[in-house]
Every structure is written in structure tokens, then in C-alpha cells.
Amino acid sequence: MLNYTSGVECNAILKKRQLKVRGNLLGFGGLVRNAERRLERLHFNVVGSRRGQRMVVAASPPTEDAVVMTEPLTKEDLVQYLASGCKPKEQWRIGTEHEKFGFEVATLRPIKYEQIADLLNGLAERFDWDKIMEGDYVIGLTQAKQSISLEPGGQFELSGAPLETLHQTCAEVNSHLYQVKAVAEEMGIGFLGIGFQPKWGRKDIPIMPKGRYEIMRNYMPKVGSLGLDMMLRTCTVQVNLDFSSELDMLRKFRAGLALQPIATAVFANSPFTEGRPNGYLSMRSHVWTDTDNNRTGMLPFVFDDSFGFEKYVEYALDVPMYFVYRNKKYIDCTGMSFRHFMEGKLPSIPGELPTLNDWENHLTTIFPEVRLKRYLEMRGADGGPWRRLCALPAFWVGLLYDEVSLQNVLDITADWTEQERQMLRRKVPVTGLKTPFRDGLLRHVAEQVLKLAKDGLERRGYKEAGFLKEVAEVVSTGTKMNSLQLQSVQVSSISSTRDLPRLFRLQRVRRVSSAGPHIPRISSCLASETKQKADPSSFGKPVSKETKEVMGTEGSVFVQTYARAPLVLKSGRGCKLYDVDGREYLDMTAGIAVNSLGHGDPDWLRALVEQANTLTHVSNVFYSVPQVTLGKRLVDCSFADRVFFTNSGTEANEAAIKFARKFQRYSHADEKHPATEFIAFTNSFHGRTMGALALTSKELYRLPFEPLMPGVTFIEYGNSEEFMKTIKSGKTAAVFVEPIQGEGGIYSTTKEFLQMLRTGCDDAGALLVFDEILSPPSGLLPNLGNAGSFPFSHINCMTNRVQCGLGRTGHLWAHEAFGVTPDIMTLAKPLAGGLPIGAVLITERVAAAISSGDHGSTFAGGPLVCHAALAVLDKIREPSFLAGVTKKGLYFKELLIQKLGDSPHVKEVRGFGLIVGIELDVQGSPFVDACRDAGLLVLTAGKGNVIRLVPPLIISEKELEHAAEVLRECLSVLDANTSN
């Protein structure tokens, strides 16, 4: 079995590509036949870097025994490895990497490894990153297709997932920076966005405890005078881009190399060394000119007529190696080439032959201005401030992802000589855009190029040209980005640095105050959209023009709070959805458990049209029959005596907060300070408005909006002892709990725990509030071992919460299974079949405290939505309907176990009713993509490794059988997407 585990899958070798072999342009058929014959003989399991995650491999030791081979590698295998990166244009993505210097804000000293370890551990704990370890040392973090890596001198490298648009890329960049800033500021750590360390000498910078860096540190002084500066004192911003064929790679490689000096000039940002001006605009770029000429530079052979994948392999084979990883140790192989390795001639491991993993690691130790792996890396820009990080990918995407702009660039640079390219590399670090070039200045060429980039972005149709604004003024005026005044601002790119003159030891640096922390434009699901952003890197179906236009317009006019799947839906019927191109999908998402009756239910539609023709809205100044009827129906089928309508689940929880406070004040009118505090639980999620957010435990959701409502105590979910100790304080107005807690992955509590909460609240005079609006889980809650509990989640943070009541579990209300009754219950989601509604159900005892004017809503409980909700409720509450949900849930679970249980990637199938989770041993996003291509819509869950299935409750057994079969067929995609 072929089992490739690199982020950009090696099995792409078998896809339709063009490959130049022995001077011939080989088409798909020949390549596939050659590759298949070779791979039949050569069995290997690759563990390597992901695109957009260069330093996961660079920072982390390769997996032990990662490669098992029956035959030695050949040069053809290495060529095919590079060719496997080819992908059709609709699958091109944008990857970004950016590095920052860390320092102590109080002392302006570099941070030591122990501080970095604390920072990494803090990020892992607060923002759900997974740690990368080398021995006992944490040396990086990973999360889905993103990483945070540790460079030799303690620089932080934040690497993003491959994304489709610059809007997505910029949102992700800001999310990364925000997370680092949130943890670092509490530790007194700041970060510099600059290309070369402006203050410290080599001796001041601590060395990171990574085995590979020790080998490099000893070798660097032998091959260049500035190699140690490169390791310890530089920071870079990098852009990673795809290619469709060998020819496309060649054209982009040449264009990128030719224009790298322009990128260096435009983004030059490193004019200081050890507190003094160093005479360079980009000291970082200058450092690379004397680091190790065997592995750096402008690669003149790229412009030869014979250049292709094979030519690059020939070059890389002769680049001296640094190390080989064996038996959990880095082995010094400096001075020897990979060609020697393939001949079994490494003195340190005589007779041993390389693996494809060794080749992949070797490629990461080659440092030209443009680097080829299974994608192209544009590496020629200084690290920069927060606001400028999106400009570099905009620059390169506009030039290289648009055919017209790319051809124009090639035309402009076609007659540039090797001497001119080398001259620009030498002089641009000193004179930047003012470098003389031919009959003018380099700035004049840069103006042409920037216009091409802008035009290319506009033709892409995503309205991304605005990202070039930061560099447009620089190019048009020739102003240097690294003037002293700008440096002051740039140093505060992540941290709020307080004493910049002290940092640079410059007497004339004018202080420029930071504009304050910038809250990134990221999805309000914070935790999971960085983990599970819509990542269409493996989509097999081309995006149509109409779809692209819709997505582009959305990206340009909407606040980017959602990371959407690249699918524009047009209509639905029953359990089927149809996109704008007429493709049919079986819907196993139900609008995130909202459309319980499916799409276009006849009774629901009839009620909606009937009411729309009669009365739609009157506000709550007047009575309306549908509202009163629905309220009575909810009271009749629940514990409650009274009901209050809202427009959403978070509004329902806001109302519950107010009702609880008012109840305490009403019940203890003679007390000056009645109970006003609340108890909630770890991993809880109660909403996104300020009061509900205060009851949500995870700092990830809370931090961007603090300070929140005070007086909330969080207790470990299921910890009875801690709860009883806290409730006895007498300060608690109410306890908010989810009977089925979604933030941990839909793990239910126990009957005993809920009974204990009921007793504790009664003894303390507090109210017990059940939130039956299940939240978007992130997979963190430990398994409490309760029968029937299982995790599932939301897709890429496109949800608020999922309704666990109203029939989805087979009970009308989830708490009915526990036999414990609350004082208040909040609900929403499927109640109106897709129209916005929420409700607060309360007892008479609580209602007695609420007076006219205490709360209200203009739209809530309108006749239109209430009449539609009656149609939904009347169907779902029927015993036969609920029994059918239970029966279909059991049948579906059995089907999944039968069809998926033999897969090594499926760890568990679990669920109750029509809530089902499939836990995988790898990230689920490629699986979700494959299912969508096959016409099945599913969601990810937990930490991205759970497939969540929440179909409409009306789904048939035949449709469940079809879903199970598609899921089975799509499992094969995981063989090629296994993560490190």
C-alpha cells in the first residue's frame, strides 16, 4: 500500500501532470505509467513538511522509521517528487510564512528558551495548538495545516495553511498574530517586525535546543562570514505558490527570481545593527550574499533552455548536506552531498541509503532567493510589521497567478542579463529602489511591476488589489519603508513597545505611539477557524465563473467573520441541496442542525406562505395569534409555565441572565446586595453577545472583547465537589449548564451530576438554567464515560450552536433523558425550521419576578416565524416521529460501523439519535472535501479529526445507506493526507 503523509501529497505523482524527462516533455499517460511502475517497486511512507508549514519539518525531527523501502531512490524518483506538486489552476493556493524577534518588554533583552517554552505551552493550552517536541523540549506548535516554529535565535515563524484568497490569508495572518500577542503580553514579551535584529550582537542571542541547529552553527563559519547572522539575526516574510505543470513552474521561477530584487527593495526593513545604522536598507538581504554560496543566490541555471525539474534535482544533489536524522539523533553530514548519500558514501553512516524523507528535509536546507519544493517559495523580503504582512502575498499573487501579468513580467525581464541580475542582488540591499538600472532607476521598473500586480489581482475577481496599498506609496514616491519614524511604528507590530529609542540606542528617533492592539478580522469562532478554516486545497471539481463571482463579491463587501466552504447553494428539497451549477448534494448538515424537516417541507412552506399573506410583523406592542399559540404549545409540552421569545440562542441566554438577576433582586428585596454572580463550566459555550460570552469559558472566545461582565466562576464540568463548595458562597444568582456540552464534542453529563446541581441550587436559592442550544465544540472535553455520549462539532466555525432539543436525540428535550427539571431553559436552532427564533422557557416562580419593560424585542415572536415554528413543533413532538429518529439513528450508526469499521483511519463511530460522529486518526478536512466532490455535505468537528453528521430528521434509510457508501468510498483520500 502506498501511504504518503506529506502535507502536499506524494500520490499526486499519479495525477495528470507534465514532466520533462531526458529532454522530452512527458504527458500524463507516460508519467502515470512510469510512476506506477516505479512506485510498485519502491514502497515508501513519506513524512515531511506541508505547504505553508516549511518549518514543521525543519523544526521537528523526522518520524522514527518513517521510510521503509525495498529499493534505493533514483534520480527519477526525486524528479517525480518535485513534479507531484503540479495541480490545476482551480486548486492553486496561497501560503504565507512570517518571522518575528521576541524580546522582554521590560529589559529589551532577547527572550531565553525557557520563556519561549512557556509561550508555546501557553498558546497550546489557550488556543488548542498541538506541541512539536524534540526530546524533552517543545520546539513548535501545529494546528491543522498551520504551524508555529522556533528558529535558531528564538525567532518565531508563523506559517499559514494554503488558502484560496488573500482575504482568507490576511484573516489567518491576523489570527496568528493576535493569538501570539494575547499570550505574550501577559508574559511581558514583545515581538519585532523587522528584517534584521537591530540591537543585539551574536553573543547576546540564546541558542535554541534543536539538534539540527547545533550542526548548522558549527558549519556556517566555514562557508561564509555571515552565516551565523543569517541563523540568529534575520527574519523573513515568505510566500508559497503553486504551479500547474513543469512549464508553468519554469515561467514562475524565472519571473520570481528576476523580480526578487524589486521585492527586496520594496519591503526593505533592516537598516540597524547593534543599535546603529548599518548602511543598508536591507541588511537581511545582504547577509544572504555571504552565508553559503553553494546553497544561496539567484540560480543562473534557471534561465537556461534546459531548465526543468530534472535540472533542479541535479543542482540539489550537489548542495552540501547538513544532517541526517537516525535513531532519534541528528548525524553531522556537512561537506557531503546528497549525491554521495545516494551512493552510500556518507562517512558518518557508511553504506546507508537515503529515503524520500531525507530528500524532503534536504530541500529545506537549500536557500536560494526562490526555492523549489512541490511549490515555489518567494523568499526575498524582510520581516515586517503587522499591517504590511498581507502586501507581499498580494504582490506575488497578482504577478504569478494571473497569466497576463505573468507573461508581461517575462517580457519585461526577458533580456535582463545574468550580470544585471547579480548586480541588482548586490546593490539593492544598499540603495533599494534608487538603484540605477539601465536608463533609469529600479523604482521605474517597480512601478510597472506593481501596476501588473494590481491588474492581475483585479482580474482574479476577489477584489484583492487593496492589499497593495501599503506598498503603492513606497513605489510611487521612492520613500523607504524603514525611515526612523516608520521603524518606531514597526517595532510595535505585535507588542506595544514602550521605549523604542532605548531599543535602538538612537538619540534622534522620534517616538510614535502604537495605535493599540488590532483585533484581527477572523471568524467569531476564533478557536476552530484557525484550526479548520475553509481549506479547499484538495477540491477536485473546478469552481465555476458564477461561483467565483459570488465568492469574490462576498470577500469584498462582507465583514470576514465566516470561513465558508467554496460552494454557492441555490435551492433545496427534502434532504437534497443544489448549487448554482445544478449539482446535487445529500445534506448531512441540515444547516448545522437547523433544518430538522429538511428543505422545503410542504407543511412548513404552506404555513409560511399562509402567514405571509396574512400578517408578517406587528412588534410586541400588540398581540398576535401565532405567537400566543406557539407559546402555549411550548408550555404544554415542557416543564415551563411561561415563555419569552427571542431571535436567536445567544439572545435567549442574554434574557436568561437578566431574568436570573431580576429574580434574585425580587426575591431578596430587603437585601442591599442580592446574589448577582453566575456559575458556568469549563468548555462551555453560551453565545457571542457580551453577557452570554461572559458565561463562555474559553479565553479564545473571550479575549478579543474583554472586559466582559464580571462575576462568573467557571467550574470543571462534572466536578461536584468544586461546585458544592462554590455554590455555598451565597453569591450565585444562577447556574448555567449544557446537559449535552458541545464545546467538548457533544459529551453528555450524568444524571447524578445534574441532580447534584439541582440540589445545590435549591439549597443556595440559585436558579438552574439549562442551555439546550448546543455549542460549537473544539474537541477538548475529556470523555466522561457516559453511555451514549460522543463528540461532534461544526464546520469551519460557520455556526453558533446546535440545537440538541427538539427531537434530534430522540427526545423532545435533551434533559428529559436525565429526569432533572431546570428553572429556565433556553432553546433556538430548529424551532422555526430555518427562520430565526429563540425562546426562554421559565417556571412561574421565576416569571413572577419579571415586570413589563424588564426586557423586550422588536422582532422576536413575530407572527410569520411563530406560525412556521408551529408547523415544525407539531411534527417533531409526535411520538412516532421521535421514535423514528431513534430507529434511524441506531440503523445509521450500525451502517457506519459495518462500512467504516475496518478502516485504519476510523478510530470510533459514536452517537445517539441523528447526531453521529466519526473520529479519525488524521485531520478530516481532505475527507470533507472529497465527500463534497462526491455530492455529500458533512461537517468537521473537535480538533478537526471528527466528521460530524447531523442530517435532517426526515432523512430516509435509503439516503442514510447512500451517505454511508459515499463515506466509505471517500476514506481512501486519507491514505494520501495522513498528517505528521
pLDDT in tens, 887-896: 999 999 999 9
- pLDDT of 854 higher than 80: yes
619-635 residue pLDDT tens: 999 999 999 999 999 99
Contact 713, 736 (CB under 8 A): no
pLDDT of residue 1: 24
- Mean pLDDT across the stretch 512-522? 30
Q: Is the pLDDT of residue 663 over 70?
A: yes
How confident is the model at residue 774, as a pLDDT? 58
Neighbours of 194 (CB within 10 A): 27
Please tell me the predicted confidence (pLDDT) of residue 259: 98
Mean pLDDT of the chain: 83
Q: Which of 177, 236, 104 is nearest to 387 (CA)?
A: 177
- Name the pLDDT band for 748 (thresholds 50, 70, 90): low
On the question of pLDDT at 937 being above 90, the answer is yes
Spatial contact of 257 and 250, defined as CB atoms under 8 Å apart: no
CA–chain centroid gap for 536, Å, is 12
Does pLDDT of 537 surpass 50?
no
Q: Checking DSSP bridges between strand 677-681 and strand 712-715, what pairing results, if any?
A: parallel
Whole-number pLDDT of residue 683 = 82
Domains in the chain: ranges and CATH? 54-522 (3.30.590.20)
Mean pLDDT of 876-888: 91
The percentage of the chain sitting over the pLDDT mark of 70, rounded to a whole number, equals 81
Half-sphere exposure of 843 (CA within 13 A, CB side): 13
Q: Kindly tell me if the per-residue pLDDT of 249 is higher than 70.
A: yes
pLDDT of residue 541: 59
Instruction: Give the range among 304-313, 360-369, 817-826 with minimum mean pLDDT.
Output: 817-826
Percent of the chain predicted with pLDDT > 90: 66
Residue 264: is its pLDDT beyond 90?
yes
Give Rg (Cα) of the chain. 30
pLDDT at residue number 813:
79
Range 769-785 average pLDDT:
50
pLDDT confidence band for 773 (50 / 70 / 90)? confident
CA-wise closest residue to 496 among 233, 192, 179: 192
Give the 3-state DSSP-derived string for 251-284, with helices as H, strands as E and coil as C. HHHHHHHHHHHHHHHHCCCECEECCEECCCCEHH
**C-alpha grid cell for residue 56?**
514543521
Quick check: 310 and 433 in contact, CB under 8 A?
no
696 contact partners, CB below 8 Å, separation of at least 6: 680, 684, 685, 686, 687, 702, 775
Return the pLDDT at 812.
Answer: 77
Give the three-state DSSP class for 588. coil
Listed range (157-171, 744-758, 919-933) with the worst mean pLDDT? 744-758
Confidence (pLDDT) at 501? 43
Question: How many residues make up the chain in this entry?
Answer: 980
In this prediction, residue 172 carries a pLDDT of: 87
- Per-residue pLDDT, 925: 86
Question: What 8-state DSSP symbol labels residue 715?
Answer: E
Range with the poorest average pLDDT among 318-322, 598-602, 797-801, 813-817: 797-801
- Distance CA(935)–CA(938), nearest Å, equals 10
Residues 6+ apart with CB under 8 A from 746: 740, 774, 777, 789, 790, 791, 792, 793, 804, 915, 917
d(CA 303, CA 30): 26
What integer is the mean pLDDT of 85-89?
Answer: 96
Which DSSP string do the residues of 124-191 spell out, in sequence order? HHHH-PEEEEETTEEEEEEETTEEEEE-TTS-EEEEPPPBSSHHHHHHHHHHHHHHHHHHHHHTTEEE
Model confidence at 522: pLDDT above 70: no
Q: Above 60 in pLDDT, residue 67?
A: no
Average pLDDT over residues 338-351: 95
d(CA 161, CA 95): 6
Question: Is the pLDDT confidence value at 3 over 90?
Answer: no
Structure confidence by residue, pLDDT tens digits, 398-437: 999 999 999 999 999 999 999 999 999 999 999 999 999 9
Confidence of residue 700 (pLDDT cuts 50, 70, 90): confident
Which of 481-485, 652-656, 842-846 bottoms out in mean pLDDT, i.e. has the lowest? 481-485
Mind giving me the DSSP string for 350-393? TT----HHHHHHHHTT-EESEEESSSEEEEEEE---GGGTTHHH
φ/ψ region of 910 (left if φ > 0, alpha if ψ in -120 to 50, else beta) reads beta
289 has pLDDT over 50 = yes
Nearest alpha-carbon partner for 549 in 469, 450, 462: 462
SS (H, E, C) 446-514: HHHHHHHHHHHHHHHCCCCHHHHHHHHHHHHHCCCCCCHHHHHHHHCCCCCCCCHHHHHCCCCCCCCCC
DSSP assigned state of 208: P
Reply yes or no on whether the pLDDT at 12 is more than 70: no
pLDDT, average across residues 170-177: 86
140 vs 503: which has the higher pLDDT: 140
Q: Which of 12-16, 528-532, 561-565, 940-944 has the highest mean pLDDT?
A: 561-565
